[in-house]
Amino acid sequence: MSSLQAILIVEDEEAISRVLAAYLKKAGFKPIRAANGAEAMAYFEQEQPALVLLDLMLPDLDGHELLARIRVTSACPVIMLTARDGIGDRLAGLNGGADDYMSKPFMPEEVVARVNAVLRRRPVWTSDESRRLYGNLVIDFAAKQVLINGAEVELSRRELALLLFLAERPNRIFTREQLIEQVWGMDYDGSDRAVDLSVKRLRRALSHWSPEAGEIRTIRGMGYQCWLKE
């Protein structure tokens, strides 16, 4: 028998937290309740939840800040819960790597439905060694698959090869000539402008990758690197 998927509920309003936990339990999950950011981080490490429901206004820190801390090491799906419904907050949440966003008041049934929807969108996290996490970006080197916030990123074969090559060798700088040789192949005889174009397309495809986790950097006068926060 497989164990239940844990859902971490980060919410300081006792009544809401309790109701959400009851509904999630009924839906077959293992709810874990945290009433502030510090508790949330401790439970997050301990329990490795399948998903986090995150209230924006917490007594000790802002939900956006907590999301950023989670995203340093994990692509675990996060649904933001909030009393605010301004477009600014919504965008900040989604740009910060939230997978979905719900404004209060909400029906607990709808929260459960969104939890299921978000979990269906992404594979359950495994300790598979071919898979690496770069903030909200996941690269599966064996399956040659790239995910951002759980959604697959569409890349051409060349862009994918370029990303895999750079991401496997993080923080190292490669010249255009080296990249042509490694990614395009020795028999390529076009211009090295091809590298610039592919990098441009790759960056566009990775535009939802959280910039504090990593990025494809241009090193002036030298070439490119996949910069990663270690």
Residues 6+ apart with CB under 8 A from 108: 19, 20, 22, 23
**Binding span for Ca ion by CB under 5 A among 14-22, 25-33, 51-59, 65-73:** 51-59
**Binding span for Ca ion by CB under 5 A among 49-57, 158-166, 200-208, 212-220:** 49-57
- Of residues 4 through 23, those in contact with Ca ion by CB under 5 A are 12
Q: Which is nearer to Ca ion, 31 or 135 (by Cβ)?
A: 31
Residue in 6, 7, 34, 55 binding Ca ion, rule: CB under 5 A: 55
Residue in 19, 27, 57, 228 binding Ca ion, rule: CB under 5 A: 57
Q: Which is nearer to Ca ion, 57 or 61 (by Cβ)?
A: 57
CB of 214 to Ca ion, least distance (A): 31
* Residue 215 found at the interface with Ca ion (CB under 5 A): no
Q: Which is nearer to Ca ion, 55 or 100 (by Cβ)?
A: 55
Contacts of 219-224 with CB under 8 Å at 24 or more apart are: 219/173, 222/173, 222/175, 223/173, 223/174, 223/175, 223/176, 223/178, 223/179, 224/166, 224/173, 224/174, 224/176, 224/179, 224/195, 224/199
Q: Which of 21, 3, 1, 25 is nearest to 11 (CA)?
A: 21
Query: What residues line the site for Ca ion (CB under 5 A)?
Result: 12, 55, 57
